[in-house]
Structure 1
Amino acid sequence: MKKLMYGLVAAGTLLFGVGCGGDDVCDDLADASRAVNDQTEACGTDTGMDEEDFDKGRCEDALEACSDSDKDRLQDVADCIRGLPDCRVGAEMEWVDQFSACFQRAEGLSAACAAAAGG
C-alpha cells in the first residue's frame, strides 16, 4: 500500500513542482502539495515530500506557456486535492482513488503548457 501511495504522490509531484499557472494557481498548488502530506499522515504514510519540493519560481516561469483554460484546469486540480478528506487506516485505496481522480481534472492541458510543466 505504501509503495502505491508513494508512486501516486511522486507522480503528482511533477505537477506540483513545475505546473504552470499564475501566482494564485502556484500558491494553491503549493498548498495542495502540503495538504497531501497532512492528509496521508493519518494512514502512517510519509510522502517523502517537504515544502522545498514545490518549486514556485519554476511554476511561475511556466505561466506564459499556459492559457487561461490551462490555469483553470490546474486550479481545479489544486482545489480537488485540498478538499480531499484525511486518509483513514483501512481505507487507503479509497483515498488513493480520490487523489488520482483529482488529476483527471488536468486532462486537456494545452501541449505548450504540458511541455512547460514537463521541464
Structure 2
Amino acid sequence: MQRAERALDAAADDGTNPEVVDSGTAYVGSGLDKSFPASGEKPYRLDITCDTDKVEELTLTLSRGEEEQAYGLGCGDRQADQFNLPAGKPFAAHVDPDHHGTGLIAWRLHTVAPGDVDGCDDDIDGCED
C-alpha cells in the first residue's frame, strides 16, 4: 500500500494543484469496476497504479457510453499513470481481476484547472497528434 501511495503522490506532485474528489483501492484479484459522475465544470484527471509482486501489467479500460479505450497499467511503477477526462461526461474505469496476483489497485480522481491538462484532454475519445 505504501508503494502505491507514493506512486499516487508522485503523480500529484506535478505543480498543477489537483483537487482530490474521490479515491479508493481494490484488490488485484477482484479487479476494479468503478463509475464516476464527472459533474462540474473543471476537467478531471484519474491517477491510477497497481502494486503486486506477481503481475507486471494490468489492462485498464476507460469507457463512456459506447466509447472505450484500453491502456496497459504498469504495476510497481514509481509514478501512477494519469488519464484526462472532460467534465460533464460520466465515465467508468474497469480492470479485469487477475487471480494469479496479490496486491492492490489504487486510484485518485482529481479536478484540475483547464490550463493544467497535459496532453490529450479526453483519453477515452482520444486526440489526433
Q: TM-score range by the shorter chain?
A: 0.3 to 0.5
Q: Which has the higher contact order (CA 8 A, sep 6+)?
A: 2
- Give TM-score scaled by structure 2 length: 0.30
Higher share of residues assigned helix: 1
